[in-house]
Structures are given as C-alpha cells and as structure tokens.
Amino acid sequence: MISSKVKILGMVILLFIAAGIGLFYWNNSSSKVDPSLNQPVTQTLFKFDTVINLKIYGDDESANHLKKIEQMLDDVDQQINMSNKDSEIHAINEAAGKKAVKVSQGTFDLMKLSVDYAEDTQGAFDPSIGPLVSLWKIGNGGEHVPDANLINQAKSLVNYKDIIMDEANLTIKLAKEGMSLDLGGIGKGYAADLVANYLHDVQVESAIIDLGGSSIIAIGRKPNGEQWRIGLQDPDRARGEQLALIQLDNETIDSSGVYERFFMENGVRYHHILDPKTGFPTKNGLKSVTIIGGTATDADVLSTAVVVMDLEEGMAYMNQKQNVEAMFITEDNRIYLTSGLKGKINLTNERYTLVE
C-alpha cells in the first residue's frame, strides 16, 4: 500500500519534471483531407524514468506494433537502466574494480559508441559520470550542493579511459572501485532508434516517437502529406509556450538544457548536465542545445556534450560534423545556428533574438 503510494507520487513528480522540458509536437492540422486519416493510434508508456509517447498513423497493425515496442523498451531497461538492479549496466557498476562482466552485443555496442563519443568530445560526454550523478542526485528532491571533498572524490572516479572493454569476450570492466556508468545522456536516443528501426522494418510510413520530450524521431510525414510541426519549449515559460517552430519530416530532433532538472540554492541553479572537468553542473552561458539530424543516439549524445562545451567550442565542433545541425540558446536569449539550419527555424517569440 505504502509502496504503491510512493510509486504513484514518484510518477507524478517525474511527469511534472518531464512537463518542463524541451520539445513538443503540434497536432493541429490545416488539412481538409478526411479527418479519420489524421487519427493516430497512440500509447503513453513510462519506462526508465521517461514518459514515452508513441503515435502511429494509418496502419492496421498499430496495436500489435505498440505491444512489440513495449517489450523492446522493457529489454532496453534490462540492458542499460542503471537504477534497475537486474540490468547489465547495474551488474558492471556492482563489479567495479573487481571483475569484468559479460554483456549482450547491444549493450557492448552502445558502450563502445559511448566511449568513442567520449574520446571525440574530449570527455565533455563521459558515460562514467555515475559517481557525480549519484552525488548530486539532481531531480530527486531534497538536493543540496555537496561538500567540496566529496565532489573531488567523485570527480576523480569519472574517466572513460578507465572503462575496459574486451570485444572478443563481450565483457566490460570498470578499472576502479567506486566507478559507475550512467547512460542517461544516450539511453533515450538509443531506445528511440530501436523503435524507429522496428517501425521502418514493418513499413510504418507515418509516426512520432517521443521519449521524454527530449528525443523525438519523426517518421515520414503526416498522413495528409504535411511536415511534422515540432515546438521548441520556451524554457522560462509554462509548458506549451514555444519559442520556435521547426517543421521537418523523416528526421531526428533532440534537446538538452539546463532548465530540465534542477534545484536552486542561494539563487543559483544547479542542473543535471555535469561538467566532468569541474564536477559541477555546467555554467557557461548556454541555456540549451537542440540537435537536428543523425541517429537519435548521436543527437542525444551531441546535445548533452555540446551543452558541456561552450557556444564557441560547441559551434566549432558541430560545424565540422556532416548532416547534423545544432541550435544554441544562450542565457541572454540569443539563438545561434549552424549553417545548415539557417532559414529553417521559425522564431515565434519576441523575447528571443536570432543571431545571423
């Protein structure tokens, strides 16, 4: 009884947190086509602390697909959710400094990609961020700024170079006791890609996959042929107030921001994207980064990594990437775009200025 109450309360809090974040999908349509065509089969799920919204349009098998997708998401939870005590990542964390743990091919490949990204971003994205995430506990209630000694101690355990991967035996070992993996910065994108791959395989032509309002994949176009309309939430305003409208088809979009999960202490905002170099939440003038293009896994990592870099470094980093674009929002409400996005973002809010 008590535990179910706690669960429901937890759910409400998480839903509340989720309502504060990045992207939302506009369902209003100017279409004069048969309205029944525009009615999707929808499902909302709650998995790995994430509210997941799925909409499939114009497919007789939709209900069946949704069942299969739920099973896939449960499998992802068993693989990579560090707070699931039966997961593979949990087992790796438990064995830190002691032994190598055998994992599934999917988990191994995702960890390999995570470490490659850690190298590519020079540690801005670091999947061994676990000790700092556990110390700060941001988004869990009752948080406060940890003691400097504890921050230094946790920081000394964060280093992707201490993740030992054995490809031949599919094992992963964390070199030091106290190390831990946290895939919160890549897991939603990974799961979104698995769902999208499945929907492509079963030839669904029109669907929206939305994980937590931060990783979205738009498959095809709307059934009436229009592009999908994705609203970018104004971080300072109530849910649903957008600052920009982005129209796209067959595309991935992912946002990370310093306003998603946070607590306030002495007028300072402490949020959930941590700088492995300082051990503190990032504080570099960036409010959020939205990535458009690439796989959802790429976009999820990149949005987090670039928030850790600053505007200048992040812009230079993103400009040398092919087929992936970025939109940066600074604390002073200026919006900067990589070259491929110029002319494609429809600013709908006069509090923000587009810097050409």
Query: Which residue lies nearer to Mg ion by CB, 56 or 183?
Result: 183
Tell me the residue length of the chain. 356
Name the nearest CA neighbour of 261 among 270, 252, 253.
Answer: 270
Q: Closest Cα partner for 307 from 292, 323, 327, 322?
A: 327
Half-sphere exposure of 87 (CA within 13 A, CB side): 22
Binding of residue 131 to ligand ADP (CB under 6 A): no
Residue 188 CB, nearest approach to ligand ADP (Å): 6
| Residue where the block lists tokens 């769902």 | 195
Q: Which of 40, 185, 223, 235 binds ligand ADP (CB under 6 A)?
A: 185
Whole-angstrom CA distances from 29 to 167, 208, 222, 226, 335 are 49, 15, 9, 8, 27
Q: How far is the CB of 319 from ligand ADP (least distance, A)?
A: 21
Q: Minimal distance in Å, beta carbon 282 to Mg ion?
A: 13
d(C-alpha 162, C-alpha 92), whole Å: 13
Shortest distance, CB of residue 296 to Mg ion, whole angstroms? 9
325 lies in the site for ligand ADP, by CB under 6 A: no
Q: How far is the CB of 304 from ligand ADP (least distance, A)?
A: 4
CA atoms within 13 A on the CB side of 54: 26
Backbone φ and ψ of 211, nearest 5°: -105, 105
Q: Which of 273, 299, 318, 329 binds ligand ADP (CB under 6 A)?
A: 273
281 touches which of Mg ion, ligand ADP, none (CB within 5 to 8 A by kind)?
A: none
157 binds ligand ADP (CB under 6 A): no
Which tokens in the block code for residue 141? 């209630």
Which of ligand ADP, Mg ion, none lies near 88, with the C-beta cut-off 5 to 8 A by kind?
none
Choices 194-202, 234-242, 267-275, 322-330 (CB under 6 A): range interacting with ligand ADP: 267-275
Question: Could you give the residue ranges of the DSSP H alpha helices within 49-160?
Answer: 62-80, 88-94, 105-120, 130-136, 148-156
Closest contact distance (angstroms) between CB of 115 and Mg ion is: 17
Residue 29 or 46: the one with the smaller Cβ distance to ligand ADP is: 46
Between 184 and 220, CB nearer to ligand ADP: 184
Q: Which of 52, 55, 51 lies closest to 29 in space, CA to CA?
A: 55
Residue count, binding to ligand ADP (CB under 6 A): 21
3-state secondary structure of 108: helix
| Residue in 126, 210, 251, 298 binding ligand ADP, rule: CB under 6 A | 126
Residue 187: Cβ-neighbour burial (10 angstroms; 0-12, 13-18, 19+): buried
Asked if 82 interacts with ligand ADP (CB under 6 A), we say no
Binding to ligand ADP in span 238-257, by CB under 6 A: 256
- Sheet with strand 171-174: strands edge to edge: 101-102, 171-174, 163-166
Q: Which residue is nearest to ligand ADP (CB)?
A: 184
**First vs last C-alpha separation in the chain:** 57
Nearer to ligand ADP, 125 or 317 (CB): 125
Verify binding: residue 235, ligand ADP, rule CB under 6 A: no
| Binding-site member from 59, 210, 300, 325 for ligand ADP (CB under 6 A) | 300
- Site residues (CB under 6 A) for ligand ADP? 125-127, 129, 133, 182, 184-185, 188, 212, 214, 256, 260, 272-274, 276, 300, 303-304, 308
